[in-house]
């Protein structure tokens, strides 16, 4: 099976201010590969330009994949290009579905929190939990009703009675401490949205002593900080010794030296540039690896992380 799919944009809809949804189908009319709740696909936008977007439809419906895409105000070309050129009838290339935000389907109860465009993977989870007849609640947090996507869908969904809408402009903000005050052994929390919103939820869960294994999250964006002391990079398989100066990433230095580096998000989120560490100590600045994986220091992301030691030896 190929790692990539050619799909047709069958439908495009304005969901909210700055947000569109796309329905992608098999050009031959067949079913698309199965996917799990929380999964995403890598969308190829232009040569050398791709972005990751969560699948927000029901995993039980393989007739199409549904994406929700926010036009980022500071877009580096990805979301802006999609909003400008991705129209019905266009054939595009995407990856097979991948999942780094898995749903624990046997949980006694699931608390789903979506902030802004972070509602997309949360929607797929709600569809799946409903299909399983599982206990869950969904909280959708937005600054204004104009920026709230998929409202009609949520109001008409068979799980509408489990949905609470929280709108800052209407003084209906979510009381996060009250929601998370009582952790339980088999109660799981899922959160996706803007970084500040997610940090507030995750930190509150920790303060209320939720087990870390019960708190699940996926960041959409990170602040990439390239500052830090320069260091020597040993690219073992390439046979190169390179200097990584302050202000430049490992990936940039390797690419300039002619070493092939797989990149996608370039923000330490997707894991595309994950590489094994053979020596030295990484300075992990990504949002992809878990705390345990970072502590082992045997792998790192090349797009954003640096070194705390004078050198790094990488398997590249």
Q: pLDDT tens for residues 18-35?
A: 999 999 999 999 999 999
* In-domain check, residue 91: yes
Q: What is d(CA 54, CA 52) in angstroms, rounded to the nearest whole number?
A: 7
Global model pTM greater than 0.85: no
pLDDT of residue 223: 56
- 288 confidence band (pLDDT: 50, 70, 90): confident
pLDDT of residue 171: 80
Mean pLDDT rounded to a whole number for the chain: 92
Cα angle 273, 20, 166; round to 5? 95
User: Given 41, 69, 95, which residue is the final one in a domain?
Assistant: 95
The DSSP annotation for 213-234 comes to: GGEEEEES-------S--EEEE
Give the residue numbers spanning the domain of 86. 4-95
pLDDT in tens, 221-231: 655 666 788 99
User: Given 219, 247, 272, which residue is the final one in a domain?
Assistant: 219
Residues 213 and 243 in one domain: no
Residues 54 and 132 in one domain: no
pLDDT at 302 over 90: yes
* In-domain check, residue 168: yes
pLDDT at 220 over 80: no
* In-domain check, residue 116: yes
Give the count of domains, the chain: 3
- 51 confidence band (pLDDT: 50, 70, 90): confident
pLDDT of residue 77: 66
Mean pLDDT in residue range 293-311: 93
* In-domain check, residue 104: no
* In-domain check, residue 308: yes
Residues 47 and 75 in one domain: yes
Strands (DSSP E) contained in the chain are 4-16, 19-25, 40-46, 49-54, 65-70, 91-95, 109-115, 136-142, 163-167, 187-193, 215-219, 231-235, 240-244, 274-283, 299-301, 306-314
Task: Identify the three-state secondary structure at position 77.
Answer: coil
User: Given 163, 189, 219, which residue is the final one in a domain?
Assistant: 219
CATH of the domain at 246: 3.10.20.30
Q: What percent of the chain has a predicted confidence (pLDDT) above 70?
A: 96
């Amino acid at each position: 099976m190929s790692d990539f799919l050619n799909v047709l944009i069958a439908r495009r809809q304005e969901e909210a201010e700055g947000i569109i949804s796309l329905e992608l189908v098999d050009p031959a009319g067949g079913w698309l590969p199965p996917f799990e709740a929380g999964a995403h696909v890598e969308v190829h936008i232009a040569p050398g330009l791709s972005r990751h977007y969560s699948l927000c439809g029901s995993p039980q419906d393989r007739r199409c994949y549904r994406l929700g895409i926010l036009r980022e105000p500071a877009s580096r070309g990805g979301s802006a290009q999609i909003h400008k050129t991705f129209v019905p009838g266009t054939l595009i290339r995407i990856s097979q579905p991948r999942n780094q935000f898995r749903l624990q389907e046997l949980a006694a109860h699931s608390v789903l929190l979506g902030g802004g465009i972070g509602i997309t993977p949360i929607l797929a989870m709600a569809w799946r939990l409903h299909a399983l007849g599982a206990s869950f609640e969904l909280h959708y947090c937005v600054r204004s009703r104009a920026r709230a996507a998929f409202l009609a869908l949520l109001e008409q969904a068979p799980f509408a009675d489990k949905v609470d809408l929280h709108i800052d402009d209407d003084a209906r903000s979510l009381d996060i401490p009250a929601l998370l005050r009582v952790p339980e052994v088999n109660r799981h929390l899922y959160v996706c949205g803007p970084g500040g919103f997610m940090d507030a939820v995750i930190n509150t869960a920790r303060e209320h002593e939720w087990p870390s294994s019960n708190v699940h999250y996926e960041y959409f964006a990170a602040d990439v900080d390239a500052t830090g002391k320069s260091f020597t990079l040993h690219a073992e398989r390439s046979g190169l010794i390179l200097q990584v100066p302050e202000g430049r990433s490992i990936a940039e230095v390797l690419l300039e030296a002619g070493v092939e580096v797989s990149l996608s998000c370039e923000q330490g989120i997707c894991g595309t540039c994950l590489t094994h560490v053979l020596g030295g100590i990484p300075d992990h600045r990504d949002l992809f690896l878990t705390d345990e994986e970072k502590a082992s220091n045997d792998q790192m992301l090349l797009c954003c992380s640096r070194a705390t030691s004078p050198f790094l030896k990488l398997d590249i």
